[in-house]
Amino acid sequence: MKIVLIKSLDVSDSLFIKVSKLAASYFNKFEIVNFNSAQEFHLESYDAQKYFDVCLENRVNNHLSNSDFVFLLTSRKNNQDYISWTDETLRNYFIQVSEWDSFLFSKKIDIEYPISYEIIACILRSLMFDKNLEIKENAHVFPKGCIMDYCDDKSQMGLKLRTADICFDCGERIKNKKVSPLIIGQALNGLEQIRSKVLYKNTQELTYELSRISIRLAYNQKLKFVDFKNEPIKLGVIETAIYCLYLNHPEGIPVIDLSLFKEEFFHIYGLLKGETDRKTLNERFLNNLLSKNFDTRVSNIKKYFDNVVGTRLSEYYIVQNLGNSNYGIKLNRNLVLIE
């Protein structure tokens, strides 16, 4: 059984080679055949059937069996506006390789990964159903992050890639069809590799969205979001002092060891408030870091960042439990500027 990849002239050689290599890395059960050099063509029509005709012609010219899969990669859209689709045989496919930047949540995702995802998903669908009409009838109108999500709104493709999953009902269908466990295992492994790559890229992109924070420890000073037009971080003095204390310790501070950081807190709070009386400083420390008020202060910090930068980015700014009651801030300290 083979997976045959062909392309139209509007698809670059470099992308075609990348997709071919990924497909080969996911499926050693199949023979991956790349007909890039043997046959290239230009597609003039948006008619999906024309795409299948190209697959059929290639199938005949290369003496392929009925069980072999043929995938045509093209940059052109089709009259059904599908990202990928198949003919009645469930063995001839086209995949649109253009416009993925507008479909996905991240412009940093290398498009060979979503294209390879489509190849895997198409193969699994062909093994789950007997007709392409059945694929339409069983597609999930409401997305579940499953290979059978319809994704009428193509921005939902991002969910499929982030989860790269097969829902329970679709999993039961695969079992009932008695699909080869080896093929399923390789397909699931491929989906997981794609998911991991996409999530890594998404996390990497977040670091570029995060603003640097500038700190100036002086009377009545505020922290600022450097890359958000120097927007002040409007925390109270106590919260600001606690925040600066944790920024000073990327490794985090165990709750049980907070008393060891009393002098450091005195110094920070004293600079921000202009306070020098040690009795007053000690009261502030005891009442806000070594009491239940600590949870309130941490909660106030979280609410502020949630409201200002949203919950997705606030995860990197807030004071939180890093594990084993060790509290800290996840923000990369390369993004912290101390004046």
Looking at the predicted structure, is the pLDDT value of residue 239 above 90?
yes
Residues 29, 34, 35, 38, Cα dihedral to 10° = -120
**Helix then strand then coil, % of the chain, to nearest 5:** 50, 15, 35
CA distance 98 to 119: 15
- Find out whether 53 and 4 touch, Cβ atoms under 8 Å: no
Higher pLDDT, residue 240 or 103: 240
Q: How far is CA 310 from the centre of its chain?
A: 17
Helix pair angle (262-273, 237-247), 10° resolution: 130
Higher pLDDT, residue 302 or 230: 302
Question: Tokens at residue 302, please?
Answer: 């979280």
Reduced to 3 states (helix: H, G, I; strand: E, B; else coil), residue 289 is coil
β-strand pairing of 223-225 with 231-233: antiparallel
- Find out whether 99 and 34 touch, Cβ atoms under 8 Å: no
- Find out whether 4 and 54 touch, Cβ atoms under 8 Å: no
Dihedral sign (CA 119, 120, 121, 122)? positive
Q: What stretch(es) of the chain map to CATH 3.40.390.10?
A: 2-208
Kindly report the average pLDDT of the chain as a whole number.
Answer: 87
- Find out whether 248 and 264 touch, Cβ atoms under 8 Å: yes
User: Which run of H or of E encompasses 69?
Assistant: strand 69-74
Predicted local confidence at residue 71, as pLDDT: 95
The residues facing 7 across adjacent strands are 40, 73
Helix pair angle (293-309, 237-247), 10° resolution: 90
- pTM (2 decimals)? 0.61
Dihedral sign (CA 232, 238, 243, 245)? positive
Looking at the predicted structure, is the pLDDT value of residue 203 above 70?
no
Reduced to 3 states (helix: H, G, I; strand: E, B; else coil), residue 321 is strand
**What value, to the nearest 5°, has the Cα angle with vertex 24 and ends 18 and 29?**
165
Starting from the edge strand earliest in sequence, which strands make up the sheet with 253-254, in order?
A: 253-254, 326-329, 319-321
Q: How confident is the model at residue 34 (pLDDT cuts 50, 70, 90)?
A: low
- Find out whether 207 and 315 touch, Cβ atoms under 8 Å: no
| The length of the chain, given as a count of residues | 339
- Find out whether 133 and 127 touch, Cβ atoms under 8 Å: no
Looking at the predicted structure, is the pLDDT value of residue 53 above 60?
yes
- Find out whether 91 and 113 touch, Cβ atoms under 8 Å: no
pLDDT digits (tens, 9 = 90+) for 103-162: 775 566 788 999 999 999 999 999 999 999 999 999 998 888 899 999 888 877 877 888
- Find out whether 85 and 48 touch, Cβ atoms under 8 Å: yes
pLDDT digits (tens, 9 = 90+) for 5-15: 999 888 998 99
CA distance 95 to 74: 6
CATH superfamily, domain 2-208, is Collagenase (Catalytic Domain) (3.40.390.10)
CA distance 242 to 285: 10
- Other Cβ atoms within 10 Å of 285 Cβ, number: 21
**What is the maximum alpha-carbon separation in the chain?**
90
